[in-house]
Chains A and B, each alone.
Chain A
Amino acid sequence: MTAIEVRGLTRRYSGGFEAVRGVSFEVEKGEMFALLGTNGAGKTSTVEVVEGLSRPAEGSVRVLGHDPFAERSLVRPRMGVMLQEGGFPPDLTVAEAARMWAGTLTSPRPVDEALALVDLAHRASVRVKQLSGGERRRLDLALALLGKPEVLFLDEPTTGLDPESRRNTWELIRALLREGVTVLLTTHYLEEAQALADRLAIMHRGRIVAQGTVSEVVDAYPSRISFTPPSGVALPVVADVESSGRVTVRTNELQSTLHELLVWAAHNNVELSGLDARSASLEEAFLAIAEEAA
């Protein structure tokens, strides 16, 4: 079952600027799909249209089978949204803000439960203006979860969180995915997408430039082996030499190349100091894509 379907989405702002140009993707039920991209790539502009905040200039969007803009009342009770920048009245307490939000929902979970999920129960009586940036982010997440959503939109959910809170948030998101919640995530933390997303798309200047599972996106980019060889020996493989003397070998067959290199070193009694071998990471793929497209 498809939870989110986006076809040929184009978004134009009043000045005529095209922030999103013909973007298409699908998110299956219970799946996490991540939208990645440099700042200004069009992620938030895309997500806002999928959330139904704005009508697409061209193309179509379906969330749980409905048009999120025209059929807002059918879709909203089943989705939860964490905006990149959402606000709360600064003079309300955490519990009051959550109760206000719960009062607008069809079937909210108990406020205490939602606050406990994001580890904010102990801050319930604190005014919103006294929260740290990370705590405000978690309150935002609590509100997104209050309505027991089937589809969850998370726009930069862990920006401003300390490492521990980020891990906790990841665990919470994993638990939601196991319960069958569909998640559309935007983030500029690549390790976040790598850790959580089933599939992802990389956006650049309003277009999707790569899309697939993490390994599908990453496999198009070579693995790297790097080390510092002793001077004066001829390597058996093609390598880039850096000024420090360290060399980097790029290969699409990491295992066999590494094997060849190690056998050669053993035969010649050569030490490869600081040996480091790794598959391409999402970060490398991302940087390469951003560079190519620039």
Chain B
Amino acid sequence: MRAVAIGKAELKLFWRNRTALFNSLLLPLLLAPVLYSVDADGVPLVVGLVGFALLMAVYYNLVTTFVARREELVLKRLRVGELTDPEILAGAALPSVVVALGQMVLYSAVVGVITGVALPARPWFILLGVLGGTAVFVLLAAASSAFTRTVEMAQVTSLPVLMACMLGSGLVFPLSVLPSGLATVLQYLPLTPVLELLRAGWADGPVLKPVSVLAVWIVLGTYAVRQWFRWDPRR
């Protein structure tokens, strides 16, 4: 895999970037003890934390990374080499994805130990949700970077996706408090099917619908990236 060469370099850069390091490694570690005070049901908590990792460690981190590499003219340089466009994006995304997966394992282990969550009955749905969710948020990050002029602006341009996903997936409050029409619409946001799949993996729940919604988001995300992704800085 030629993209791994990019991934390795990105991992070094990640290691040398204190802000990213703090956000991705220290913050979760600080969060972990807080979880000890939680005596709620473990499954929604794990599901919520996995969703949070997808939004922050994958989506937000990657909007920043893609914009930074574009503005440094690194993407432009990589594009005159042998790698294909998807390989370049995958390589740049690799460390963020690895970190996010690490966070998810950490959260699940900690919460599992505290609340005694049973092992998932249908782990492949969890796998499907995590992998599909990662793909969707990598694509959405690439698409969002097209509308982001500078690394600093990423804090603003990533807000719509972050807010919509957090509110719309029931991470912050249960969707049942909303009017049913609105709740139905929100179910089609990109994070919702991921969380539905996770819940289905632990307990019971519908599978076909979230898988279809996720697939549609992957198609939409791919289209958006092909259409709008910028390899050159804006002038």
Give which listed residue, A87, A100, A143, A153, contacts B72 with CB less than 8 A: A87
Chain A 49-88 interface 0/1 with B at a Cβ cutoff of 8 Å (1 = within): 0010100000000000000000011001100010101111
In the assembled complex, how far is the CB of residue B179 from the closest CB belonging to chain A, in whole angstroms?
42
In the assembled complex, A262 has its CB within 8 A of some CB on chain B: no
The answer to whether B4 touches A103 (Cβ under 8 A) is yes
Chain A 90-122 interface 0/1 with B at a Cβ cutoff of 8 Å (1 = within): 111000110111111110000000000000000
With contact pairs A101-B81, A105-B81, A106-B82 given, residues A91 and B76 touching in the complex (Cβ less than 8 Å): no
In the assembled complex, B73 has its CB within 8 A of some CB on chain A: yes
In the assembled complex, B164 has its CB within 8 A of some CB on chain A: no
Minimum CB distance partner of A85 in chain B: B73
With contact pairs A92-B9, A103-B5 given, residues A87 and B74 touching in the complex (Cβ less than 8 Å): yes
Q: Which residues of B1-49 have CB atoms within 8 Å of chain A's CB atoms?
A: 2, 4-6, 8-9, 12-13, 16-17
Minimum CB distance partner of B88 in chain A: A104
Minimum CB distance partner of A72 in chain B: B84
- A76, B79: Cα distance in complex, Å: 10
Collect the chain A residues with CB atoms within 8 Å of residue B81's CB. 76, 81, 101, 104-105, 147
Interface on chain A toward B: helix, strand, loop, or mixed SS? loop
- A88, B10: Cα distance in complex, Å: 11
Give which listed residue, B6, B74, B79, B83, contacts A53 with CB less than 8 A: B79
Number of interface residues of A (CB under 8 A): 29
Number of interface residues of B (CB under 8 A): 24
- A87, B80: Cα distance in complex, Å: 12
- A76, B80: Cα distance in complex, Å: 8
In the assembled complex, B69 has its CB within 8 A of some CB on chain A: yes
In the assembled complex, how far is the CB of residue B32 from the closest CB belonging to chain A, in whole angstroms?
29
Collect the chain B residues with CB atoms within 8 Å of residue A133's CB. none
Most A C-beta atoms less than 10 A away, residue of B9, B12, B16: B9
Q: Which residues of B107-140 have CB atoms within 8 Å of chain A's CB atoms?
A: none
Q: Which residues of A168-200 have CB atoms within 8 Å of chain B's CB atoms?
A: none
Give which listed residue, B12, B82, B87, contacts A96 with CB less than 8 A: B12
- A227, B76: Cα distance in complex, Å: 52
Collect the chain B residues with CB atoms within 8 Å of residue A147's CB. 81-82
Minimum CB distance partner of A140 in chain B: B77
Binding site for A on B (CB under 8 A): 2, 4-6, 8-9, 12-13, 16-17, 69, 72-74, 76-84, 87
Binding site for B on A (CB under 8 A): 51, 53, 72-73, 76-77, 81, 83, 85-92, 96-97, 99-106, 143, 147, 153
Pairs A–B under 8 Å by Cβ, sample size 20: A53-B80, A72-B84, A76-B80, A76-B81, A81-B80, A83-B73, A85-B73, A89-B9, A89-B13, A89-B69, A89-B72, A91-B12, A91-B13, A92-B13, A96-B9, A100-B9, A101-B81, A104-B78, A104-B87, A147-B82
